[in-house]
Amino acid sequence: MDFRPSPAQQLLVATARDFLKKHCPPERVQRVALDARGVDDALWQRMAELGWQGLLVPAELGGSEGSLLDVILLVEEMGRAGAPGPFVPSAVVATSVLLACDNADQKKRLLPAMAAGERIVGVALADEASSLEVDARGRLTGRALFVEAAHVADALVVAARAGGETQLLLVPTDRRGIARWPLEVIGPEKLFEVAFDGAAVSAEDRLGSSAGRRGALQAGALARTAEMVGAAQRVLELAVEYAKTRVQGGRPIGGHQAIQHACADLVRDVDASRGLLYAAAWRTSEGVPAVADVAMAKAYASEACLTVARRAHQIFGAIGYCEEHPLHLLHKRIHAASLDCGDAALHLEEVAQAIGLR
Amino acid sequence: MEFGFSPAETAFAEEVRGFLREQPLERFPVDGMDAGYGSGAHSRAFMKALAERGWISMCWPVAYGGQERPMFFKLVLFEELALAGAPFGPLAGSWQTADAIIEYGSERLRREVLPAVARGEATFWQGYSEPDAGSDLLALKTEARRDGDQYVIRGHKIWSSHAGIATHGLVFTRTSREARRSRGFSMFVVPNGTPGMDIRPIRSLTGGVYHYEVFLDDVRVPADLRLGPEGEGFQALLNGLDSDRFWGRFYKAPALERVLRRLVEHANTTGASRDPALRRRLAAMAAEIAALRLLFYRAACLLRDGAPISYETAVAKVYADETGQKLARLGMDLLGPWAPLRAGSREVRLDGEISHAYLTSLGHTIAGGTAEVLRTTVAVRGLGLPAEPRKA
Ligand SMILES: Cc1cc2nc3c(=O)[nH]c(=O)nc-3n(C[C@H](O)[C@H](O)[C@H](O)COP(=O)(O)OP(=O)(O)OC[C@H]3O[C@@H](n4cnc5c(N)ncnc54)[C@H](O)[C@@H]3O)c2cc1C
């Protein structure tokens, strides 16, 4: 048993931290969050130069051939920095679907471009938020909700019912019969309703049966957990720093037990979430069955990291209520990540079955 | 990163399971109450059975009769015993005391006490708290006065768990008045039955006896029963408390996992498992227990690697205790009107384990440093927040 990242992983984390400090400072995160488009193209390109979007992709497809565990450590840093952009849907979930699918042409066409940061692929895989269907003539109809970054996506991976089974399709966003409507949310993420009004689907759009969906959503669930853990870690650091420097009644507020105990609980929540995350990511990377581990990690972190953010608001007092202050963005990101790739209720049901509840 | 176990650890786990299969737990008479920490009841017979396997002393230096096995073997043993619900109550205390004796004990303690620990015969009670010294332990009044090659101990200890059935007390005393509040304390290993020692039981809220109060009326002990240098007892105690938090709670996660499995089985039998809210509560408990286990394993890696510990064991201890309370509470909810039935009653469910756990778990956030005091430790020692001003 060993909780320490390998030397190579430590290097990855240290590099990521330095890079994000320089190219994704809090002011920039704020600016991009308030911007309607909400994507930082220069940052996205720089990340691609470091091989981040291609971390899951093998070298022969232009990737940098990392492990899922590497991706998790990286996304944790991105969460800590509040880095904007559709990394999780495109570089984790859509990439995982494409890697697992049996459509060799699409793999060859898209994965190198995605790894190079030249293409972005969004995802609409959740059953609850979609009503997609392909009819007998190969027309895709219905709508998908909460599709992240559809406005900048070149294509979408969608799950649609076709002839009684669920099929995975890759649909270019500029195809006729597809409309993208922005949803307005409290957080920095850009979500869309995507309406399909008889868009034509051909054989080459088919990625095969839904076999790869589960694995991709699990990778996505882990990545979202990493994002929450990273953001909660940042909240913890900010709160402790503030507790040491904010003076009231002649001494730092961190000298009061009420604040001390709140901070002690923040560490507990972050550490416990991270332990579950790493263990689940390690098992998944090793190919050990990890469905329940992933579900536990996501469900646990969703509750614990959100609690961290909410308690931090109390520690900060009024300043944390300001748009200028970084806390609310971290908070909103944690909340959004908790919903994506299966919310806590869905994952808890997975756990319930794993522990033998009938 | 690596979250698996080595082949040697896996093989040892199998060996322990084999032992448990051969030795059904009903065979071991219980001599003292299960305090609910996860280490089961106090059973001398079970301690002897562990000793026969060489497991009590397996990690000690060869020079003291050990086999120098890696520390993780102790964790494997704890996990397997706790998952099985075995009565190994005194084991953590025996290990800790033995480690202290190996590290800084006198020749006499090493010669007389260590072998008795290895045989599973010597077990220890902790004589720290006093009526007016709880969280503020340094307010203690028990004094040990040097008299030739002896000390004369006088004072009053309370809440000493299992003092009446253990063989030796670890009695924490003041040996001198010093300017620094934390200096001038010394620890003694005092055999039960030493003249002047009066051990009286205190009945607990469970109806059983777990605590004792101990009156020390000029108890004379040889100087070489002092554990560590004179006046340096507090530092040793602090180290001890740090590892107490770890060793005294490590088995909580597997023990809770065992209880959770019983609750799941019960819910399946009664059909309560179909209630979505209950499913979520049980599933969330499973995740919390998994998180708890990993907090302890992380602390274990730090201890193994000799890395500094600032807050990790304190966080893990509080989490263990609060998670245990939460599970017991959930168990009571699940059992409904059957919840208050105690072991042995007609119609009792799950052997009365839940109502017992519900009561005993109330003490866990108090024993070994209260949850409040430990949260302060995490904040001050771990996060570097300013300590509260305190009177000297
Ligand atoms: C099950 C059990 C087993 C035990 N076993 C042993 C044993 O074997 N040997 C032994 O010596 N003792 C033992 N104890 C005693 C235990 O160590 C003390 O109970 C503990 O240190 C707290 O002391 P107290 O009970 O006097 O409470 P107090 O210290 O009086 O505390 C009462 C309340 O005030 C709070 N409080 C006190 N000081 C502070 C502070 N500075 N900041 C914030 N809050 C504070 C506490 O958190 C608590 O909520 C045991 C206790 C229990 C319940």
* pLDDT tens-digit map of B294-336: 999 999 999 999 999 989 999 999 999 999 999 999 999 999 9
Question: Per-residue confidence at B178, pLDDT binned at 50, 70, 90?
Answer: confident
Helices within A246-256 (DSSP H only): none
Nearest CA-CA partner of A157 in A225, A107, A226, A83: A107
Question: Per-residue confidence at B391, pLDDT binned at 50, 70, 90?
Answer: low
Q: How far is the C-alpha of B233 from the C-alpha of B235, rounded, in Å?
A: 6
Please name the helix (run of DSSP H) or strand (run of DSSP E) that holds residue A194, with its range, or none: strand A191-200
- Which architecture does CATH list for A212-354? Up-down Bundle (1.20)
Q: How far is the C-alpha of A228 from the C-alpha of A80, rounded, in Å?
A: 8
Q: For chain A, list residues with pLDDT below 70.
A: none
pLDDT of B115: 98
Q: Output the CA–CA distances (angstroms, integers) from residue A190 to A77, A151, A154, B76, in the order listed.
A: 20, 8, 15, 48
Q: How far is the C-alpha of B356 from the C-alpha of B34, rounded, in Å?
A: 9
CA of A354: which chain B residue's CA is closest? B283
Q: Closest Cα of chain A to B282: distance in Å?
A: 7
**Neighboring chain B residues of A286 at a CB cutoff of 8 Å:** 4
Contact B245, B313 (CB under 8 A): yes
SS3 B170: strand
| B307 and chain A in contact, CB less than 8 A | no
Residues β-bridged to residue B188: B171, B226
- Whats the size of chain B, residue-wise? 392
Phi, psi of B251 (to 5 degrees): -80, 5
**Neighboring chain A residues of B256 at a CB cutoff of 8 Å:** none
Tokens for B150, please give them. 């002896």
Residue A128: other Cβ atoms inside 10 A: 9
Write the DSSP string, B140-182. Answer: ---EEEEETTEEEEEEEEEEEETTTTSSEEEEEEE----SSTT
Residues β-bridged to residue A180: A194
Q: How far is the C-alpha of B250 from the C-alpha of B313, rounded, in Å?
A: 10
Query: Which residue in A263, A282, A345 is closest to B1 by CB distance?
Result: A282
Contact A252, A246 (CB under 8 A): yes
CB of B139 closer than 6 angstroms to any ligand 1 atom: no
Amino acid identity at A236 = L
Tokens for B309, please give them. 């510990």
Residue with tokens 């499913």: B279
CB of B372 closer than 6 angstroms to any ligand 1 atom: yes
Residue with tokens 């604040």: A259
Nearest CA-CA partner of B45 in B113, B112, B121, B123: B121
Write the DSSP string, A90-133. Answer: IIIIIHHHHHHSS-HHHHHHHHHHHHTTS--EEEE--STTB--E
Task: Give the single-character DSSP code of B273.
Answer: G
Amino acid identity at A63 = G
Q: How far is the C-alpha of B185 from the C-alpha of B182, rounded, in Å?
A: 7
Phi, psi of A325 (to 5 degrees): -80, 140
Q: How far is the C-alpha of A289 from the C-alpha of A285, rounded, in Å?
A: 10
pLDDT of B389: 79
CATH code for the structural domain at A7-115: 1.10.540.10
- Residue burial A162-171, b: 16+ Cβ < 10 Å; e: rest: beeeebbbbb
A278–B3 CB contact, under 8 Å: yes
Question: Per-residue confidence at B70, pLDDT binned at 50, 70, 90?
Answer: very high
User: In sequence order, which residues have a C-beta less than 8 Å from that of residue A8 and are 6 or more positions away?
Assistant: none
Residues β-bridged to residue B220: B152
CA of A256: which chain B residue's CA is closest? B388
Question: Per-residue confidence at B177, pLDDT binned at 50, 70, 90?
Answer: confident
Give the HSE-up count for residue A322: Cα atoms under 13 Å, Cβ half-sphere: 7
Query: Which residue in B264, B284, B319 is closest to A268 by CB distance?
Result: B319
Helix pair B252-270, B72-84: axis angle to 10 deg = 30
CA of B279: which chain A residue's CA is closest? A352
Q: How far is the C-alpha of A82 from the C-alpha of B248, rounded, in Å?
A: 39
Q: Closest Cα of chain A to B146: distance in Å?
A: 40
Which residues of chain B from 150 to 209 reach within 8 Å of chain A, CB to CB? none
- Give the ligand 1 atom nearest the CA of B369: 21
Which residues of chain B from 67 to 86 reach within 8 Å of chain A, CB to CB? 72
For the whole prediction, is pTM greater than 0.90?
Answer: yes
Residue with tokens 């609750």: B263
Residue with tokens 């509260």: B388
CB of B128 closer than 6 angstroms to any ligand 1 atom: yes
Write the DSSP string, A39-52. Answer: --HHHHHHHHHTT-
Contact A72, A80 (CB under 8 A): no
Residues β-bridged to residue B189: B170
Q: How far is the C-alpha of B310 from the C-alpha of B313, rounded, in Å?
A: 8
pLDDT of A6: 95
Helix, strand and coil content of chain B, in percent to the nearest 5, comes to 50, 15, 35
B383–A278 CB contact, under 8 Å: no
Residue-averaged pLDDT of chain B:
95
Distance of CA B239 to the CA centre of its chain: 14
Contact B299, B316 (CB under 8 A): yes
Spell out the domain ranges in chain A: 7-115, 121-211, 212-354
Q: What angle do CA A206, A208, A210 make, to 5 degrees?
A: 120
Helix pair B312-335, B233-247: axis angle to 10 deg = 40
Question: Per-residue confidence at B344, pLDDT binned at 50, 70, 90?
Answer: very high
Q: Output the CA–CA distances (angstroms, integers) from residue A281 to A3, A292, A303, B60, B80, in the order listed.
A: 12, 12, 19, 35, 25
Q: B106-162, pLDDT tens digit by residue?
A: 999 999 999 999 999 999 999 999 999 999 999 999 999 999 999 999 999 999 999
E strands present in A201-333: 206-209, 247-248, 251-252
Question: Among B37, B124, B129, B247, which is best to mutate for testing ligand 1, by the most ligand atoms less than 8 A from CB?
Answer: B129
What CATH class is the domain A121-211?
A: mainly beta
Phi, psi of A141 (to 5 degrees): -130, 160
Nearest CA-CA partner of A39 in A147, A176, A131, A151: A151
Contact A119, A148 (CB under 8 A): no
CB of B340 closer than 6 angstroms to any ligand 1 atom: no
